[in-house]
Amino acid sequence: MADHRTYLIDRLEVERALTIADAVDAVERAFAAYGDGRAQMPPKSYLTFPKGDLRCMPAYIPEMGVATVKNVNVHPGNAGLPSVMATISVVDPETGFMLAIMDASYLTAARTGAAGAVAAKYLAREEAAVACMVGAGVQAETQLAALMVVRPGIRKVLFCDADPGRAETAAQRAAAAYGIESESATIEHGVPQADIVTTVTPVRSPIVKAEHVRPGMHINAIGADAPGKQELEPQILRGAKVVIDNWDQGSHGGEINVAVSGGLITRDDVHAEIGEVVTGRKPGRERPDEVTVFDSTGLAVQDCACAALVYQRLTADSDARARLAAVDLLRLA
Amino acid sequence: MADHRTYLIDRLEVERALTIADAVDAVERAFAAYGDGRAQMPPKSYLTFPKGDLRCMPAYIPEMGVATVKNVNVHPGNAGLPSVMATISVVDPETGFMLAIMDASYLTAARTGAAGAVAAKYLAREEAAVACMVGAGVQAETQLAALMVVRPGIRKVLFCDADPGRAETAAQRAAAAYGIESESATIEHGVPQADIVTTVTPVRSPIVKAEHVRPGMHINAIGADAPGKQELEPQILRGAKVVIDNWDQGSHGGEINVAVSGGLITRDDVHAEIGEVVTGRKPGRERPDEVTVFDSTGLAVQDCACAALVYQRLTADSDARARLAAVDLLRLA
């Protein structure tokens, strides 16, 4: 039998192969495939440990040519290692062979930023000019980078963070990266100015209040990722057009989970899953003054679409393949 | 940050590290942990492709020190590649870091053989002397090897196969390996002679009939692995003490699935899960003349226990680690 090798793709190779604009495009196509019912995405599986957990996320999008399984941990307070690390196994649907294993730490951040951007593309006003990032960590930076792809008219960004120094640093970096007006702000001052608000904090109780929200605003709620966590006052959800990525994940641990478990909103109060909006089954923004909220929990199809792109780019020809490390795990020869 | 490398463990390294006796021991401990409720094992996830499928099997056994996720495909009629290939990601529960990726093709065969052996240890008569393998493929060989670990008194083995030449070859190999009497036989002739019968065929309709079964016999039913498949006449199940590995998996696609879906047996007719027998919660064999059947579907905890052993042996000291290939996927440095 021929030599069958599995490519090993490290974080730097993934970064080289996948721009933020690529990720936005791939995630939009993933949402479309999911919305059209062409994608397979079994529920996430969880293993729980004393200090963290591991999530196992399989997905298959036929037109993308590969199936993927992402393993991603969450260990808050990991000493010497990132809290979140991820790998993706890329499998050939034709044979079941494992084509590649790639680091997915950057990819996970990129596809999460991309989801917010795709939501903004369909839900934020075209003329959106001011963005406010609530939380000024790494994911705020990625969310902004993706947002700039779909709303290049943004001319000002505000960063709000419990650590004002961190907000200031993020603002300086954004100014340098995009040449736009950029400053740190309190939530009270920053959010009401914004056309697009992105929440990327680890808080458990709402920090964005209904009084901060203005007509026409779009909010990407990214941070809530577990039962009991929320970043927005539930009244905001009740007054808004709410779009989620997936009902099971969102109602279990997304921004809407507290409001759903408290009976404040039901499935009927949710306007759509993002796949339905991207495929045109349901409308996105319909009026300039409506408030829209996207609750992102992160779908395995986003990982699949981005990993497919990375794999195909990095193995497109023999020169590209020669650059990659590889291992023959089966040893059939 | 320090260099964090993920070890790459190919099939030959796994074979070097894991003997069949090791696998039997590891699988018995896995069944015990599962029976005691100490193990985590979410349901298998499936992705389905035009020509096959991929199963994703996470498990965590705290006392074994690692969590694992096995990805295993089934592509019947794969050209140039095995129909079944598997890899296991080994994750550190303390940090979530991926410690190793190993080929699990041999490991899967070994842990499947080991499950039959553990069942025989608790369910077959101590003085069992004759084994009959129904099906003479690779898994028959592994099942016999594991059986010889727990019932070294076996002095004769019979192989039954639709291809008599294959049965003859298997018999010759077993004679050479164990120095025991070994021959090919028809099912009608072979099964009734045996104290322990192991079915490892891909058939969909029963090939072992009730008339072939003798009092005191133990049967390991290994081959049925999908809804609608069975190797034993259902009357055998109705008259036997039936032990399964897991109700959800067994009733869905194990040997009992056809009898369960047809209403011939219910959960109450199943004596125990093997974990309950290994931990002493329920008895194994109680009388010399009872017929016992073990329905094996394969549990992720079996993979976890075997992979933990392989990982720990191959990374026990710096000399051992130096032998292994490794990759720095995160590139934190």
- In chain B, which residues have their Cβ closer than 8 Å to the Cβ of A73? 91, 95-97
DSSP at B208: B
Could you tell me the pTM of the whole model? 0.96
Say what the pLDDT of residue B129 is.
98
Chain mean pLDDT for chain A: 96
CA–CA distance, A277 with B323 (Å, rounded to integer): 53
Give the pLDDT band of residue A79 (cuts 50, 70, 90).
confident
- B172 by Cβ neighbours in 10 Å (0-12 / 13-18 / 19+) ranks as middle
pLDDT at B280 over 80: yes
Best of A41, A81, A108 to disrupt the B interface (most B CBs within 10 Å) is: A81
DSSP at B191: G
In the block, which residue shows the tokens 């401990």?
B29
Best of A68, A69, A83, A106 to disrupt the B interface (most B CBs within 10 Å) is: A69
- Taking only the tens place, the pLDDT of each residue in B283-325 is 999 999 999 999 999 999 999 999 999 999 999 999 999 999 9
Give the pLDDT band of residue B2 (cuts 50, 70, 90).
low
CA-based R_g, chain A, Å:
20
Say what the pLDDT of residue B1 is.
40
> Do residues B187 and B212 touch, judged by C-beta distance below 8 A?
yes
CA–CA distance, A36 with A41 (Å, rounded to integer): 13
CA–CA distance, B184 with A265 (Å, rounded to integer): 68
- In chain A, which residues have their Cβ closer than 8 Å to the Cβ of B33? none
- Taking only the tens place, the pLDDT of each residue in A142-173 is 999 999 999 999 999 999 999 999 999 999 99
Average pLDDT over residues B142-146: 98
Tell me whether residues A95 and B103 touch, CB distance under 8 A. Answer: no
- A198 by Cβ neighbours in 10 Å (0-12 / 13-18 / 19+) ranks as buried
Interface pTM, i.e. ipTM = 0.95
- In chain B, which residues have their Cβ closer than 8 Å to the Cβ of A108? none
Average pLDDT over residues B250-274: 96
Percent of chain A with pLDDT over 70: 99
AA letter at B275: G
Interface residue B50 vs chain A (CB under 8 A): yes
How far out from the chain centre does Cα A259 lie?
21
CA–CA distance, A101 with A35 (Å, rounded to integer): 27
Interface residue A1 vs chain B (CB under 8 A): yes
Say what the pLDDT of residue A225 is.
86
- Taking only the tens place, the pLDDT of each residue in A239-272 is 999 999 999 999 999 999 999 999 999 999 999 9
- State the virtual CA torsion across B147, B148, B152, B153 in degrees, nearest 10: 70
Average pLDDT over residues A139-143: 97
pLDDT at A2 over 60: no
Who's near B34: CB < 8 A, 6+ residues apart?
B41, B61, B273, B275, B299, B301
Which of B304, B249, B323, B332 has the alpha carbon at shortest distance from B70? B304
Tell me whether residues A4 and B81 touch, CB distance under 8 A. Answer: yes
**Segments in chain A forming alpha helices (H):** 11-17, 20-35, 105-123, 138-150, 164-178, 187-190, 234-239, 247-253, 257-261, 274-278, 300-314, 318-323
pLDDT at A207 over 90: yes
- Taking only the tens place, the pLDDT of each residue in B95-135 is 999 999 999 999 999 999 999 999 999 999 999 999 999 99
Active site residues of A: 70
Q: What SS3 class is residue B139? A: helix
How do the residues of chain A divide into helix, strand and coil, expressed in percent and rounded to 5? 40, 25, 40
Say what the pLDDT of residue A1 is.
39
AA letter at A150: V
> Do residues B72 and B55 touch, judged by C-beta distance below 8 A?
yes
Interface residue B63 vs chain A (CB under 8 A): no
Residue B292 has φ and ψ, to the nearest 5°, of: -120, 145
Chain mean pLDDT for chain B: 96
- Taking only the tens place, the pLDDT of each residue in B169-199 is 999 999 999 999 999 999 999 999 999 999 9
Average pLDDT over residues A11-34: 98
CA–CA distance, B252 with B58 (Å, rounded to integer): 19
